[in-house]
Amino acid sequence: MWGGRFAEGPAAVMREINASIPFDKRMWQQDIAASQAHVAMLAEQGVVAAEDAATISSGLDRVAADYAENGVPDDLTLEDIHMLTEARLADAIGPVAGRLHTARSRNDQVATDFRLWVRDAIDQTLAALDALDAALLARAEQHAGDVMPGFTHLQSAQPVTLGHHLMAYHEMIARDGSRFQDARARMNLCPLGSAALAGTSFPLDRQATAAALGFDGPTRNSLDAVSDRDFAIEYLTCAAQCSLHLSRLAEEFVLWASQPFGFVSLSDQWSTGSSIMPQKRNPDAAELVRGHAGRITGCLVSLMVTMKGLPLAYSKDMQDDKPPVFECHDLLGLSIAAMTGMIASATFRTDRMRALAESGFATATDLADWLVREADVPFREAHHITGRAVARAEALGVTLDKVPLADLRAIDARIDDRIYSVLSVDASVASRTSFGGTAPANVRAAICAARGE
């Protein structure tokens, strides 16, 4: 491959450490597409004869068909997908295959292929997130009015609806989608034509190759184009943030499926059993999603550490840019699909949710708000009055709405029987009508807005 420069071939270990074909073969479709765009442009510019370009294009189709049917072999002597494809092309059409590499380098070739691959990965992720969001919206609509305890510090705080809780994850997933879309727009420039690092003296039409590959235009600096991996790091950053959201949702499913909570029953499709305890139904899929978040974050850190000290332009360290991206994409795709399936098939125990919402003095804030609104009590004073009412309810062993009026009036004479209209969990959630609040009407309006209705 190196022509006359080297008298000896590489050592066996050097051949193995230097080869990237075992993993970068995943980019074969992008490599073929970029080569097709490149040779078509060379023909249009008169750099390569039209007849030769047609032969090369036909040969690339044959190589692609072979890859699709038989897979891409791990030929370490050819190092990477670019050299393997060129060698296969030469086998198919002969020496004219050597004209394909005119006015390009493996540096701009891999930068182009990798951008194309990451762009495709983003499109796949966005489609998967749409399916997850649709599942969230469907279940939120189904449970827009079902009461559950809302938590802070994992302590019962105020009642909310299950629909409102699920819509919180819709907001997270929507932000994830917007981040991926932003990253896609930012990376959508084509490095092809930057050659090794300095550009080329051939009369290329970089606008044409960029357009042929669906880019918005060519990159503006050849040094940056071949050494930039911001697009991969940004993809990993978006994926890591998304995985954190998936992990939080997975953690809630793990908690909710436990007997102390009993909020949800996962379907058999998304549960596993125990090798020794036949009664067990383990939320393993959710636990694995939670675990994948750590690995995805590790992929981000791996590439950031690889890139942090590299001078311009290309360095061989950058060959290690693809494994963490590929691993991340696989893990994220599994995680999104698993959460989509769990949400769609779960049975929510709304009776259990309501019982726990009613048992933890979750409407205490409603009592304080009533004092402020109806008795003109400063909130801080109302807070203290309510605390004493909670203490009285605890002493009696009842919920707030079951404390006798006489007991409440003994705490503060400004309380009257109207207070009972706000102390039930249903009254509490119905009253939270501020924009973004948990009132069922708000939840249904938010679902319509999310669907663009």
Distances (CA, A) of 39 to 49, 97, 134, 177, 189: 10, 10, 42, 35, 19
Q: How many whole angstroms separate alpha carbon 412 and alpha carbon 371?
A: 10
Burial of 58 (0-12, 13-18, 19+ CB in 10 A): exposed
Per DSSP, what are the bridge partners of residue 265?
A: 347
The two most distant CA atoms of the chain are separated, in Å, by 101
Q: Is 38 a catalytic residue?
A: no
Per DSSP, what are the bridge partners of residue 218?
A: 190
Cα torsion at 231, 236, 242, 245 (round to 10°)?
-150
Encode pLDDT of 61-70 as tens digits: 999 999 999 9
Of 230, 119, 117, 113, the closest CA to residue 184 belongs to: 119
Per DSSP, what are the bridge partners of residue 150?
A: 158
Encode pLDDT of 204-262 as tens digits: 999 999 999 999 999 999 999 999 999 999 999 999 999 999 999 999 999 999 988 99
Q: Name residue 128's amino acid.
A: A
Encode pLDDT of 288-342 as tens digits: 999 999 999 999 999 999 999 999 999 999 999 999 999 999 999 999 999 999 9
Q: According to DSSP H, which parts of 94-200 are helical?
A: 106-142, 162-187
- pLDDT value, residue 257: 93
- What 3-state class would DSSP assign to 94? coil
> Mean per-residue pLDDT for 350-373?
89
Q: Is 153 a catalytic residue?
A: yes
Distances (CA, A) of 66 to 53, 284, 322, 402: 20, 39, 24, 76
Segment holding 410, helix H or strand E: helix 405-411
Phi, psi of 265 (to 5 degrees): -120, 120
What is the sign, positive or negative, of the torsion defined by CA atoms of 40, 44, 46, 51?
positive
Show Cβ contacts of residue 184 under 8 Å, excluding neighbours closer than 6 positions.
119, 122, 123
Question: Residue 130 half-sphere exposure, CB side, CA atoms within 13 Å?
Answer: 8
Q: How many whole angstroms separate alpha carbon 453 and alpha carbon 447?
A: 9
Preceding peptide of 313 cis, ω within 30°: yes
Encode pLDDT of 261-281 as tens digits: 999 998 878 766 655 665 557
- pLDDT value, residue 411: 94
Proportion of the chain above pLDDT 70, given as a percent: 96
- The residue from 178, 258, 267, 274 that is catalytic is 274
> Mean per-residue pLDDT for 410-434?
91
User: Global pTM?
Assistant: 0.90
Residue with tokens 């549960």: 271
Helix axes 230-257 and 284-307, enclosed angle (nearest 10)? 160
- The residue from 153, 201, 275, 434 that is catalytic is 153
Proportion of the chain above pLDDT 90, given as a percent: 81
Strand 347-348 vs strand 264-265: parallel, antiparallel, or unpaired? Answer: antiparallel
Q: According to DSSP H, which parts of 213-282 are helical?
A: 222-227, 230-257
CB 147 within 8 A of CB 354: yes
